[in-house]
Structure formats: C-alpha cells, structure tokens
Structure 1
C-alpha cells in the first residue's frame, strides 16, 4: 500500500493524502488524483519525473505518443517501479488548457493489505474555481551574439539595401 500526498500548486493549501494499491499503474493513479480533487479525469494529463528539488524531468504522458512501437505511457508505468521508495516525487499536470499542477510525494510504502482502495484519508482546502496562472520563463542563454553584431562587415548594413534594384 502506498500513502501519497498530492499538493495543488496554489497560494492556499489544497492537499489530498490518498492510499492506493502497490500494483497500480500511473493511469489509475491519474484518475484517482483527478477524482480526489473533484475532476472527472477526462482531460489530457502527464506525470513528470522529478528530483528532490522538484526539477521537471522526463514526461510520462497519458497515452503512447510514439509514431511506431510502444513508448512510455501512464498505462505501462507501474507505481512500484516509478516510485519505488519513500519520498520519491512526481509532478502531475492535469488539463493542458488550464495547467492544474500538482506535486505528488510518496509518504509511506507498506506491504499492509487494505480493502477499499483507493481511499482519500486527508483533505485540506478546496480547489479554486480557476487554475492559477502559470508563467513559463525560459532561461536567457548567452548565444555569443549581441545587437552590435547585426551589421555584417563584409556585406554592409542589410537595412540600407534596396531590394527593388534587382
């Protein structure tokens, strides 16, 4: 049995702690998380592998996205293989139009057999009516070029070139 804490990325605390079976795949976990926050589970979603600092890594999509063959998907990833130890983490994004973002953290893993799983054992806060706005800012990379390099010394200033001459 896994005890998993899911935290919605909002200013106010919105948390669910759930118990799920060890043999669950990530597609079933996706549906359990979505329903525990009041969603129907019908929107596109992905899990992302992450490290201790919640740095987003490899995507685990809801469906196989490979053109040929079998690629990684929620259905092919078992919980016990994806999150094998306590404190393993995933980022979960539900509904790519609204970008509901959740932090998924394994609190406890046990061999205890419990009936009636999945089960919500803790509910804190209510989900807001609208998803929090996400701002994605890319890191500014130094590409070695500056605005001063816009004029090519060999050919002159292209801004002054009269294209109608030819």
Structure 2
C-alpha cells in the first residue's frame, strides 16, 4: 500500500511540475512574442490589448437598433463620416448615406433576428486604433415570406466614442 501511495505521489508531483512549466511558457514574458519566428511578417505583430467595454456597448447598441429597424438610433452611434465595407462595397460616406443604405436594405425584411455568439474589444498598444469585433447569426424573413440566414462578423472601428468604420464579412448558412 505504501509503494502504491509513493508511486501516486511521485506521479502527481511530476505532473504538477510539467503543468507549471507549460503554464509558465504560455504566460511568460510577452516580449518573447516579438521574437517569434512567424511564417508571415506584418508591420506591428502582437499589437493589440483588451479594449474598452464602452466601445463594445456602442457597437452592440448600434446593431440592436438596426435589428429592431430603428435606423435613426442605430446611426446615432456612427461618426459624421463612415468607411463602409460590405461585399461589393468599399466606400467612405456621410452618416446620412449610411442611414439611407440601412433603410433600403432593412425595408425588404418582415423580421430580423440576431443570435450573438461573441464579441471582443481591442485597442492598439499605441492607443491609435480601437476596434470591436462581433460574431453572430442573422436570421430573417422577407416581406415575400422567404426565410434565410447568414453567419456574420462585423469589425467596427471607433474613434471618440463613434463608429467610423464598419467592415462586414458574411457566410450564407444552409
């Protein structure tokens, strides 16, 4: 019995020691990330930190107002000028044009429902850029009774508490 206890104790200590080393490596000095030999290079690797929950709230309120067909409220969270990127659209436009575009698109729907999966707010280490990304499924029924859905990712850039860029990426669900 003592031998079994000693074997279990030794195994437990060994496994705890390995877990600690793995955790130390995973949580080690972030400056080590800058020294990684990434297979691609970019201007500012590992440039992001957790961002503002206030920015997340702005992005979510704008989306919820859009989901409810309230374009005045939705676009109130946008800056005077917004860079909008959708499939086949990449344009900088005034907020009123964004509102008009949202209205045209929303007017074909009878209902719209969003199921949110996740969001993340980030800020660049030099504090020059703030972004919120949201991941969700959008289901709708058109006024003609056609039902469909998309998986959606929105990247929203904020400045001074206003959305100044909206990039949307979609995948049709089957």
TM-score, normalised by the number of residues in structure 2 = 0.27
Q: Which has the higher contact order (CA 8 A, sep 6+)?
A: 1
Decide which structure has greater helix share: 2
Higher strand proportion (structure 1 or 2): 2
TM-score (norm 1): 0.28
